[in-house]
Chain A
Amino acid sequence: MVALTSILRERIRQYISSQQQPTVTILSSLLIVQDELAYIPQEAIEEIAKFSDCTINDVWGVASFYTNFRFDPPLKHQIEVCWGPTCHIKGAPDIIQSIQKSLGLTTEGDSKSVEVTLRYSTCLAVCAQAPAISLDNKLAGNVTIKKSKQLVDKLINQEKK
């Protein structure tokens, strides 16, 4: 366990010190760790505090504010569904319900039956193609219940193989 932690710490140190842009902050370091690991482990909070010369509380304060950060490893696949007003009036509630059914969920979160994490999004920026969802960061627009079911099933079946 100790060895694993030290490997993880070394990787995190590499990510945060590899930032190319001139302005490096607590937030930019958190974003790069989240990009690489898909979550923010406790080790990252500590390493970013050291790197930025601030307290663990300072880093937690930032990390807990932005809703994109999560603090435990997500499942293998991510589905984002938009609940913004355009998607809502174009039928997002039914699509959300149908996806939840496929994943055995009643709200957003990690599915217990398949390797898929469901997340609500306030806007995927493709409102003209509403309702929109995103599967593993790939956007899909003009989604119907049928189409969303196909896409989600494909993701789940791919996992079974």
Chain B
Amino acid sequence: MNYLDLKSKAENNWNLLANGSKPWIRVGTALCGKAAGADAVIERVRGELSKNSIEAIINEVGCLGLCYAEPLVDILNPGGSRVFYRNVTPEMVPELIESHLKRNQPLNKYAIGYLGPTPIYGLIPITELATMKPQVRIALRNAGHIDPGDIQHYLANGGYLGLHKALTEMTPETVIEEITTSGLRGRGGAGFPTAIKWKFLIGSNEPVKYILCNCEEGDPGAFNDKGILDSDPHTLLEGIIIAGYATKASKGYIFIRHGHDGPIDRAQRAITEAYNNGLLGKNILESEFNFDVEVSLTGDSYVSGEETALMESIEGKRAMPRYRPPFPAQFGLWGKPSNINNVKTLSYVPEIIAKGGKWFSGFGVNKSTGTAILCLTGDVVYPGMYEIPMGLTIREVIYDIAGGIPGNKKLKILQTGGPLGGVLNTSKIDVPLDFEAMAEAGAILGSGGIIIGDEDICAVDLTRVLVAFCQFESCGKCFPCRLGTTHLLEILERICRGDGDDKDMTQMESIGKSLQAGSLCGHGQLGFNPVKSAFQYFAEDFKIHIKEKRCPTGKCSTIMVSPSRTRP
């Protein structure tokens, strides 16, 4: 099918929605919306509408990123502006419908803002909210605005323009040049330049090559990959197709853990719709380019997010890392050249191609161009998923965007980049969020998760939880990792119980060295990071636990959750 035809059809449909005669109600039903009770809200909305014989369009949309405000419902009356209602409960629905739909009176007491040309008295535009204003939404541009299950919504908002441009005006080489200009680096953790990765693949003449998109995202504290799939799966899909074109690959896989039904269903549906509209399969958009994409599900295993373990898992085996070399670009999935990119990395690609690499590199600082998609969780007033230009400081992010620490408490601990990242204390609060500055501070930006802990948090207790995670998730292939993490956990549990002794810290350091030196993949190599950084920044906490046999916060005496399952 022709892109221009697809686009004009989609725009007509969108205009009927946005400028039609019926009210348009959008409810956020991404994972966080569902956890906050969005399903019950939708049910009540449907019930009330039919009770009052009101005809309205109801769409389930993804996540605007304001997780603290979920369930988020926005209502657009014909000719008006969208009004966003926060923390909606089923009990609030009759009042909302009575006031906003029947009397055309937005209910300001429940609203956080509006969006649209007509100002609403007493409300500010949501783009002016403290949580929204500093954001630059590139990968999340459609999140919370469009129905992720409807390709027309994506097309009407500039979707697949990047692919159209790549296929009609660009060669694979010029697409990669554009990515080089953009300075795009991998958002999965390592920050490796994406264009260089793609060049490894283009060099091979093998007819079968794979683009593997990693959405395993086992990091506790990060949910932005699933957030993108839940909110705008076509952005990712378009990115994968462009990556396939640029590297002359034949097939793509979206790799995700089973059980997250929302994001999985939305990804599946996006793929089906793309096939139905000639955006996947043979002769994409009437070009010579053929490409297929499939969703591959994995079981519960954190290490399956490691690039070679990921390939083992797609092949249906135990997700254990392979030896390298050979590298995936030579010998990857089923022995074919393969390229692995994170969801966020690929989701930037459509906009980079549509608007140019130079535009993208205009955001961010130094070698960290573009934006970072952060998940701010823990002890902050406004936890959520925020896309900010690289280079804002941790302080700006926590205090200006996330509203600071609740209950007038003091900030104590920051845990960044997933459990293998490290912990930081308040001395690093003015570190800018970019790849280099974070690495220099001894932490990683990683997948963008930042867990914030207030003064009541015990650093030793948190370290124990992080190590318990590393121990539980060790795949067992390399014994320094398998045994080392177990031993570290035993020592930490002892310290938490008040049975620590003076030699514990040196012993842990020595285990940490063998972990780093004797493990094949990042899980073991970085497995000591939480302990190392906790020693560096919270030495005092350890000292009190070991010397005085007490926990200053009293947290350590509570139960220790350690899963009973281990891998045979």
* Residues of A with C-beta under 8 A to B560: 93
Interface residues of A in 13-47 (CB under 8 A from B): 21-23, 25-28, 30-31, 35
The residue in chain A whose Cβ has the minimal distance to the Cβ of B34 is: A139
The distance in angstroms between the C-alpha atoms of A27 and B315, with both chains bound, is: 8
Distance between A69 CB and nearest chain B CB, rounded to angstroms? 7
Interface pair B472/A122, CB less than 8 Å apart: yes
- A86-104 interface bits toward B, Cβ cutoff 8 Å, 1 = contact, 0 = none: 1111101110110000000
Interface pair B318/A127, CB less than 8 Å apart: no
Interface residues of A in 58-88 (CB under 8 A from B): 61-62, 64-69, 82-88
The distance in angstroms between the C-alpha atoms of A94 and B219, with both chains bound, is: 22
- B236-276 interface bits toward A, Cβ cutoff 8 Å, 1 = contact, 0 = none: 00000000000000000100001111000000000000000
Interface pair A25/B567, CB less than 8 Å apart: no
The distance in angstroms between the C-alpha atoms of A127 and B469, with both chains bound, is: 16
At the interface, yes or no: A145 with Cβ under 8 Å from chain B? no
The distance in angstroms between the C-alpha atoms of A129 and B63, with both chains bound, is: 13
Name A122's contact: one of B34, B218, B564, B568 (CB within 8 Å): B218
At the interface, yes or no: A108 with Cβ under 8 Å from chain B? yes
Interface residues of A in 120-161 (CB under 8 A from B): 120, 122-130, 132, 137-142
A85-B469, A139-B35 known; A129-B67 Cβ under 8 A:
yes
At the interface, yes or no: B378 with Cβ under 8 Å from chain A? yes
The residue in chain A whose Cβ has the minimal distance to the Cβ of B39 is: A138
* Residues of A with C-beta under 8 A to B449: 127
At the interface, yes or no: B163 with Cβ under 8 Å from chain A? no
Interface pair B221/A129, CB less than 8 Å apart: no
At the interface, yes or no: A6 with Cβ under 8 Å from chain B? no
The distance in angstroms between the C-alpha atoms of A96 and B31, with both chains bound, is: 21
Name B314's contact: one of A23, A92, A107 (CB within 8 Å): A23
Distance between B343 CB and nearest chain A CB, rounded to angstroms? 13
* Residues of B with C-beta under 8 A to A62: 316-318
- B58-77 interface bits toward A, Cβ cutoff 8 Å, 1 = contact, 0 = none: 00000000011010000000
Looking at chain A's contact residues, the main secondary structure is mixed
- B65-99 interface bits toward A, Cβ cutoff 8 Å, 1 = contact, 0 = none: 00110100000000000000000000000000000
Tell me the count of chain B residues lying within 8 A, CB to CB, of chain A: 70
Interface residues of B in 446-504 (CB under 8 A from A): 449, 451, 453, 457, 461-462, 465-466, 468-469, 472-473, 475
Interface pair A86/B378, CB less than 8 Å apart: yes
At the interface, yes or no: B506 with Cβ under 8 Å from chain A? no
* Residues of A with C-beta under 8 A to B385: 128
The distance in angstroms between the C-alpha atoms of A130 and B449, with both chains bound, is: 14
Distance between B404 CB and nearest chain A CB, rounded to angstroms? 16
Interface residues of B in 283-324 (CB under 8 A from A): 292, 294-302, 313-319
Interface pair B32/A129, CB less than 8 Å apart: yes
Interface pair A84/B294, CB less than 8 Å apart: no
* Residues of A with C-beta under 8 A to B461: 88
* Residues of A with C-beta under 8 A to B316: 25-28, 52, 62
Distance between A99 CB and nearest chain B CB, rounded to angstroms? 11
At the interface, yes or no: B533 with Cβ under 8 Å from chain A? no
The distance in angstroms between the C-alpha atoms of A124 and B220, with both chains bound, is: 8
Interface residues of B in 545-568 (CB under 8 A from A): 558-561, 563-565, 567-568
The distance in angstroms between the C-alpha atoms of A61 and B377, with both chains bound, is: 36
User: By CB atoms of chain B within 10 A, which of A52, A62, A68, A125 has the most?
Assistant: A125
Interface pair B314/A89, CB less than 8 Å apart: no
A-B CB contact pairs (8 Å), 21 listed: A21-B296, A25-B316, A27-B299, A61-B318, A62-B316, A62-B318, A65-B318, A65-B567, A89-B451, A89-B453, A92-B561, A93-B560, A94-B558, A108-B564, A120-B561, A123-B218, A125-B260, A126-B34, A127-B451, A129-B32, A129-B70
- Taking Cβ atoms with an 8 Å cutoff, the residues of A that contact B are 21-23, 25-28, 30-31, 35, 52, 61-62, 64-69, 82-90, 92-94, 96-97, 107-109, 120, 122-130, 132, 137-142
- Taking Cβ atoms with an 8 Å cutoff, the residues of B that contact A are 31-32, 34-36, 67-68, 70, 217-223, 226, 253, 258-261, 292, 294-302, 313-319, 375-379, 383-385, 415, 419, 449, 451, 453, 457, 461-462, 465-466, 468-469, 472-473, 475, 558-561, 563-565, 567-568
Q: Which 5 A-B pairs have the closest CB atoms?
A: A25-B316, A66-B299, A84-B220, A128-B67, A141-B35
